[in-house]
Structure 1
Amino acid sequence: MEFSTGNLIALNVILACMMFGVSLSLGVEDFRRILRDPRAPLIGLAAQFLLLPAATCLGTWAFGVPPELALGMILVAACPGGTFSNIMTWIGKADVAVSVSMTAVSSLAATVMTPLNFAFYGWLNPDTRQLVTDIAIDPGNILLLVAGVLALPLLLGMWSARRAPRLAARAEKPMRLVSLAVLFGFVAIAFANNVDLFLAEADRFALLVIAHNAAALGVGALAGRLARLPVPDRRAVTMEVGIQNSGLGLAILFTFYPDAGGMILITAFWGVWHLISGLSLASWWARHPAEATAT
């Protein structure tokens, strides 16, 4: 797959704009809320950055997933929560405050955790270790990319919302709609440039993504249940862990590994499927409010 330097820059700028739009709803109070009551966000972040990558590494090894597809799954698991988890949490009548807090902190933590988890678990799985060596993962370069498209736009968006709250409130919804369109644009580019591989491997990677996403939702739900979180908090953690920032994963692949077709297809299909599964789960939750759920 060939991408010009201009196209790669455009993709990264668009992802940064997506993060800027999401951060317009965040503020210092979201971080203070974590300090006052950190249990739910901390449980969620542990599931996000520790349990899910470890489970993905073990699962891909245990089931003998082909190396390039396995490494794509590890990359997705290493990414922070997706930018649409807050909306789906709101639709599902779960605890939006917990979701927003996790989004804010995980986006900042991802500047370090995403490249480190990707490199570490890619190396830890013996089936992907050679591939990691061949593509020469440089965590430092990935860290700079993640900082540029997540951390800096997040801080800038929060600063803008603080300086011009009315403008930020009006811009938030359009920015989210544009973000959704852009995410599908990422996916369309990935599929268009790998159509032959998509047709040949769809039966394999589609099932892997569906199973992986179900496992991610399950990790979040199990972590919340074991921690005995209230049902609204548990649902927010479930959604935050199950909705991954696949747009970031695609930006990393387009920038550093444009020829890794299998990894790109795994990540691109995640971008479609987690929206379907997340919206389906949120709709079910909306019909079964947390107040009516005993456990």
Structure 2
Amino acid sequence: MSAAAMVATDGVDSIRIAFNEGSMTVLRIAIASILFGIALDTRVEDFRQAARRPGVIAVGVAAQFLLLPALTFALTLALNVRGSVALGMILVACCPPGNVSNIVTHQARGDVALSVSMTAVGNLLAIVLMPLNFALWGNLHPTGGPMMRAISLDPVDMLIEVGLVIGLPFLVGVALAHRFPRVSARASKVIGPAAFLLLGALIAVALANNFALFLGYIGIVVLAVFLHDALALGLGYGIARAARLPGRSVRAMTFEVGVRNAGLGLLLVFSYFGGLGGMALVAAWWGIWDIIAALALARWWRRTPPAEVPQAAAATRA
């Protein structure tokens, strides 16, 4: 994979990190395979379970697709970050959850069934809501908006890209899982981790090829990503506690809201923004830091039993 970059006096907003066509194809395959692996481990029963817990799912959907993008927008204003960094933060906030949320929920002794159901619903809704959310908040941003309008980003084009990369493999995977459950269950244990490793390798190679730029500008995004990730995890935890969910559900909700599929965001940065510096750095660093933070929280939670609420009250709220 080759990568090139240009630095101008304007700083991070002028960096351009370019993937060649071969690398873009591999990146699309990696993201599609991750979603395909999630779908192979998803059953129609997961959607039925979600339908049986409409209150809990509604809380999660509101946190992911309404509150997180809005709070992220406010955070970019509070931090006064550059336009490309702000757009990167907003884009990541609009991304759906990934299968990492299911893994860390299991490690944290959380409600895995709820986590899987929310991941399935979240990725399905993200096909439409992600492009619309990003177009809304990105265009509203005082410094990011002019950059978006200069590129003339069409939400319909992004919707098609998201539909092809996450919608199609997800729907095909769910259909195969329903038709061939045993084969799909075995395949998901290989495809998902392999795709995740491929994505990690792509990010690592991209950072290595642009290491001087990474060192020169990472200080601009480290604090922003740290606070943004803490905001996302805190939002999931806070809204679950406010809804008085059981302890295991609180842990699942924390990770479903806090863990974002930053790899998808990185793909969109290269597809529509020409590898715009701040956006690429935010998406790449988020993909690394988000996993570290989620694993650390999961390990800490694993040492303590989750607080529960009376069964009757939990059933009423769900």
Normalised TM-score (structure 1): 0.95
1:200 corresponding residue in structure 2? 216
Aligned CA distance change for structure 1 residues 183 and 293 (closer, same or farther; 3 Å): farther
Per mean C-alpha deviation after superposition, the further-off stretch among 90-99 and 127-136 is 127-136
Secondary structure at 1:137's aligned position in 2? coil
Q: What is the aligned counterpart of 1:89 among 105, 108, 117?
A: 105
Amino acid at match of 1:166: R
- Alignment of 1:235 with 2:251, yes or no, is yes
1:108 corresponding residue in structure 2? 124
Aligned CA distance change for structure 1 residues 180 and 7 (closer, same or farther; 3 Å): closer
Superposition pairs for residues 267-278 of structure 1, below 5 Å? 267-278=283-294
Identify unmatched segments of 5+ residues in structure 1: none
Asked if 1 retains the 8 angstrom alpha-carbon contact of 2:127 and 2:163, the reply is yes
Task: Report sequence identity in percent.
Answer: 45
Provide Cα deviations, 1:19-43, integer angstroms capped at 9, x if missing partner. Answer: 1111111111111111111222221
Normalised TM-score (structure 2): 0.88
Q: What is the aligned counterpart of 1:58 among 67, 74, 85?
A: 74
Provide Cα deviations, 1:201-241, integer angstroms capped at 9, x if missing partner. Answer: 12221111111100000111111111111111111110011
Secondary structure at 2:81's aligned position in 1? coil
2:234 corresponding residue in structure 1? 218
Asked if 2 retains the 8 angstrom alpha-carbon contact of 1:194 and 1:265, the reply is no
Secondary structure at 1:30's aligned position in 2? helix
Give the C-alpha shift of residue 292 in structure 1: 7.3
1:146 corresponding residue in structure 2? 162
Distance (Å, rounded) in 2 between the aligned partners of 1:189 and 1:261: 16
1:131 corresponding residue in structure 2? 147
Aligned CA distance change for structure 1 residues 204 and 4 (closer, same or farther; 3 Å): closer
The structure whose Rg is larger is 2
Per mean C-alpha deviation after superposition, the further-off stretch among 25-34 and 193-202 is 193-202
Distance (Å, rounded) in 1 between the aligned partners of 2:195 and 2:102: 13
Q: What is the aligned counterpart of 1:279 among 282, 291, 295?
A: 295
Asked if 2 retains the 8 angstrom alpha-carbon contact of 1:49 and 1:78, the reply is yes
Identify unmatched segments of 5+ residues in structure 2: 1-16, 311-318
Secondary structure at 1:44's aligned position in 2? helix
Per mean C-alpha deviation after superposition, the further-off stretch among 138-147 and 192-201 is 192-201
Amino acid at match of 2:273: Y
Asked if 2 retains the 8 angstrom alpha-carbon contact of 1:197 and 1:261, the reply is no
Asked if 2 retains the 8 angstrom alpha-carbon contact of 1:194 and 1:261, the reply is no
1:164 corresponding residue in structure 2? 180
2:65 corresponding residue in structure 1? 49
Secondary structure at 2:98's aligned position in 1? coil
1:23 corresponding residue in structure 2? 39
Aligned CA distance change for structure 1 residues 189 and 110 (closer, same or farther; 3 Å): farther
Give the C-alpha shift of residue 177 in structure 1: 1.9
Question: RMSD value over aligned CA atoms?
Answer: 1.6
Distance (Å, rounded) in 2 between the aligned partners of 1:6 and 1:113: 29
Aligned CA distance change for structure 1 residues 147 and 116 (closer, same or farther; 3 Å): same
Distance (Å, rounded) in 1 between the aligned partners of 2:125 and 2:307: 32
- How many residues are matched? 294
